[in-house]
Amino acid sequence: MGPCSSQQRKPVSTSQALVPGTKPTNAEEFQVRPNIFATLKQGSISTYYKIEKSLGAGAFGEVRLVIHKSSGYKRAMKQIRKDKIIKEDEENMFSEVNTLKELDHPNIVKLHELFQDAKNYYLVTEYLEGGELFQKITDMKHFSEKMAADIMKQILAGVVHCHEKKVVHRDLKPENILFENKKPNSNLKIIDFGTSRKMETNQNLTKRLGTPYYIAPEVLKRNYNEKCDVWSCGVILYIMLCGYPPFGGQDQEILQNIELGKYEFDPEDWNKISEDAKNLIKRMLTKDYQLRISAQEAYNDPWIQKNAPNGPIDMKAIKNLSSFFGKNKVRAALMQFITTNLMTNTEKEGLLNEFKKIDKDGNGQISKDELLQVYMKQYDEIKAKQMVDDIFEKVDINRSGFVDFTEFMMSASSEEKLLSKIKLQQAFNMFDTNGDGQISREELQEIMGGVDDNLWTEILQMCDANGDGQISQQEFIDFLVKKYQQ
* Phi, psi at 169, each rounded to 5°: -75, -50
In contact, 168 and 225? CB cutoff 8 Å: yes
Q: How far apart are the C-alpha atoms of 342 and 431, rounded to whole Å?
A: 13
Query: Crossing angle of helices 228-242/275-284, nearest 10°?
Result: 150
Report the alpha-carbon distance of residue 299 to residue 303 in Å, rounded.
9
* Cβ proximity of 237 and 152 under 8 Å: yes
Sequence-ordered list of residues with C-beta below 8 angstroms from that of 6, at least 6 positions apart, any chain: 442, 445, 446
Q: What is the pairing mode between strands 120-126 and 111-116?
A: antiparallel
- The full length of the chain comes to 486
What residue type is 12 in one-letter code?
V
Q: Which residues are catalytic?
A: 171
Query: How far apart, in whole angstroms, are the C-alpha atoms of residue 281 and residue 368?
Result: 32
Q: How far apart, in Å, are the Cα atoms of 444 and each of 62, 92, 191?
A: 30, 28, 29
**β-bridge partners, 40:** 114
Residue 226: which of 235, 216, 236, 234 has the closest Cα?
A: 216
Cα 112 off chain centre by: 10
Picking from 362, 458, 413, 455, the residue whose alpha carbon sits closest to that of residue 164 is 362
Which of the 8 DSSP states describes residue 101? Answer: H
Amino acid sitting at position 125: T
SS3 53: strand
Residue 45 to residues 13, 33, 98, 121, 127: CA-CA distances in angstroms? 21, 24, 20, 10, 16
Q: What is the DSSP letter of 116?
A: E
Q: What is residue 59's DSSP assignment? A: S
Spatial distance between the Cα atoms of 240 and 312, rounded to a whole number of angstroms: 28
CA distance 147 to 190: 17
What's the CA gap between 106 and 192, in Å, rounded?
15
Nearest to 406 by CA among 126, 77, 63, 29: 126
Q: Using alpha carbons only, how large is the chain's radius of gyration in Å? A: 23
50 belongs to an annotated ligand binding site: no
